[in-house]
Amino acid sequence: MSTGEVRDRAGRTDVWLPVALLTLAGVSWWWSAVTAGDMSGDAMQMDGMPMEPQPAMSFVAFLVAWVAMMAAMMLPAVVPVVRIYARAAANGRAAPVAIFVGGYIALWAVVGIPAYFAWSRLNEPMMQGSPWAVRVAGAVAVAAGLYQLTPLKTVCLRHCRSPLSFFMRHGRHLDRPTGAFVAGVRHGLFCIGCCWMLMALLVAFGAMQLAWMAVFAVLILAEKIAPFGEQLARVAGAALFALGVALLVHPALVTHLV
């Protein structure tokens, strides 16, 4: 392949890849909105008349909605790393992009399993304003705020902010499908390392709160691509800590948040 052909392929990749990922994120936001409406409707029905739980169906529905939520929130922030990978794939040095991105999606689905069990215990009490559920959410917010200030958060964030450095350290055997998939999982682990406490807070508040999803999506994106991302993480940590303390002291404040 000539140098000109390589450049043409790389140029086309730089155009279609962000569009494709952002389109997928948009579809995921739409699906999250639809799912949020359905779940709110179910909760209203349960307030009026108790319903028999359907664990298997609830689990499948939640897992699909969880993956869609993660895609909606995380895909815009992973555009830089996926773009670098896609350039290598366009030059024949890496497996197809879908395999690399599939590593992210598989990891997000695995994380959704414990999230489901936490959500199934907390969602209804939170919607009913139960003080103990609100205080659990407050404790999670305090923990999330403190985590924002930890060295582990900083290490994970720096990996996400430096995609080229990630590939230099972890980009082995990308020409093989298994190597590409594992690389996607590894980078996904760093992404989750950045954001897992925010995801836990979403679960504590009720996993399909679109307003909180939007706030955290903007925060995640800014942390990873803005020049002041690391400083923003610390400011967000202080804000989350203050929110958690407020909920622990005055659980009634939750009515303004969910």
User: How do residues 124-143 score in pLDDT, each as one tens digit?
Assistant: 888 787 899 999 999 999 99
- Token representation of residue 8: 């043409």
pLDDT at residue 43 in the model: 45
Where helices occur in the chain by DSSP H, the ranges are: 3-48, 55-90, 97-127, 131-147, 151-161, 163-170, 177-205, 210-225, 229-249
Assessment of whether the complete model's pTM goes beyond 0.85: no
Confidence of residue 208 (pLDDT cuts 50, 70, 90): low
Instruction: Among 43-52, 81-90, 141-150, name the most confident range.
Output: 141-150
Q: Which domain holds residue 140?
A: 3-256
User: Percent of the chain scored above 70 by pLDDT?
Assistant: 84
pLDDT at 164 over 90: no
Tally Cβ neighbours within 10 Å of residue 109. Answer: 14
pLDDT range class, residue 100, cuts 50, 70, 90: very high
| Separation of alpha carbons 239 and 247, rounded Å | 12
**Number of structural domains the chain divides into:** 1
Q: Quote the mean pLDDT of the chain.
A: 83
